Amino acid sequence: AKNNISASDFKRTVNAGHETNALAVANKQVDVATNNTENLDKLKTSAPEKLKELKVIWKSPLIPGDPIVWRKNLSETTKDKIYDFFMNYGKTPEEKAVLERLGWAPFRASSDLQLVPIRQLALFKEMQGVKSNKGLNEQDKLAKTTEIQAQLDDLDRLNNALSAMSSVSKAVQ
């Protein structure tokens, strides 16, 4: 999204799962594919010889992995119970073992700010839809894309501020 590249920029696109994408590149069936860090780590054990055939050419900013979310209109009592469960789970040896089997660590607190990259991706997809909409005239396309770009710019500023705060926090520790 940040590089303003659309699927329509490519001669041909194929939709598949991450592992299938990686193996298709390794087997020279496609030239390039998207993937994620978690899946590439899995390939270290499931297909190490194929992983050697791959070259990572770009990494996106961190996309949150499997956040646990709730409706904003849940009662505070329910939110507190859910929050307390996740923040306290993984402290006993049995719970630690469950998390370890899943390849997880104990849960950490988060907020809607974790979802900024997802919001950016959704807006980028919306922008691509507007740009390719043959039913909109150029003036309407420009108005809608300008509005979406303003929202993306706001999220970029927010993301930059969060990164700066994180850097300061790490430097202080």
Tokens describing residue 166:
């994180």
Looking at the chain, list the stretches that DSSP marks H as alpha helix, in order from N- to C-terminal side. Answer: 18-26, 37-46, 48-51, 76-88, 93-102, 116-131, 138-172
- Which burial class, exposed, middle or buried, applies to 97 when counting CB atoms under 10 A from its CB (0-12, 13-18, 19+)? exposed
Rounded Cα distance, 66 and 95, in Å: 19
Domain boundaries, the chain: 7-51, 70-109, 112-172
Stated length of the chain: 173
pTM of the model: 0.64
CATH number of 7-51: 3.40.190.10
b/e for 137-150, b at 16 or more Cβ within 10 A? eeeeeeebbeebee
pLDDT tens digits, the chain, 173 residues: what are they? Answer: 567 777 778 888 888 999 999 999 999 999 999 898 889 999 999 999 999 999 999 887 777 777 888 999 999 999 999 999 999 999 999 999 999 999 889 998 888 888 888 899 899 999 999 999 999 999 999 999 999 999 999 999 998 898 888 776 666 66
Rounded Cα distance, 132 and 7, in Å: 11
b/e for 33-45, b at 16 or more Cβ within 10 A? bebeeeeeebbee
CATH architecture observed for domain 112-172: Up-down Bundle (1.20)
CA 170 to chain centre: 23
